[in-house]
Amino acid sequence: MTKLIRLAALLGFSGVALGAFGAHGLRARVSPAMLEVYRTGVLYHLLHALVLLGVALGARRLRRVRAIAALFTVGIVLFSGSLYAMALTGITVLGAITPLGGLAFLAGWALLFFAPRDDASSVP
């Protein structure tokens, strides 16, 4: 699961970098409402990067790890990415993509709910 840990680290790194950019580089460039949209993207980006790290670290105890990881990654790209793009460009129609990312997040969480292996309790 080294690749998955690296993906989680990359997503965490990019989330922190984008958050710093938003906090220091956007304040004077976008409206307060759009800055809040951007912050929401960062929040969900970082949260799901951490969840992905947890999935990677607990992979031996889970089924369908790749599918879960793919759903959370797609969720970050679509949900957070569309919010970043909307805040940076002011093109609010990009918000139509955001629910698709939200659905990917929900599907990832649902799959995670059913993912524990039956023998997971015997794994330390």
Q: What is the pLDDT along the chain (124 residues), one digit of tens a residue?
A: 899 999 999 999 999 999 999 999 998 899 999 999 999 999 999 999 999 999 999 999 999 999 999 999 999 999 999 999 999 999 999 999 999 999 999 999 999 999 999 875 555 5
Instruction: Give φ, ψ of 123 to 5 degrees.
Output: -90, 130
Domain residue ranges in the chain:
2-116
pTM, rounded to two decimals: 0.93
In sign, the C-alpha dihedral spanning 24, 30, 35, 37 is negative
DSSP state of 90: -
> What pLDDT is recorded for position 121?
58
CA distances from 54 to 9, 14, 111 (A): 11, 17, 14
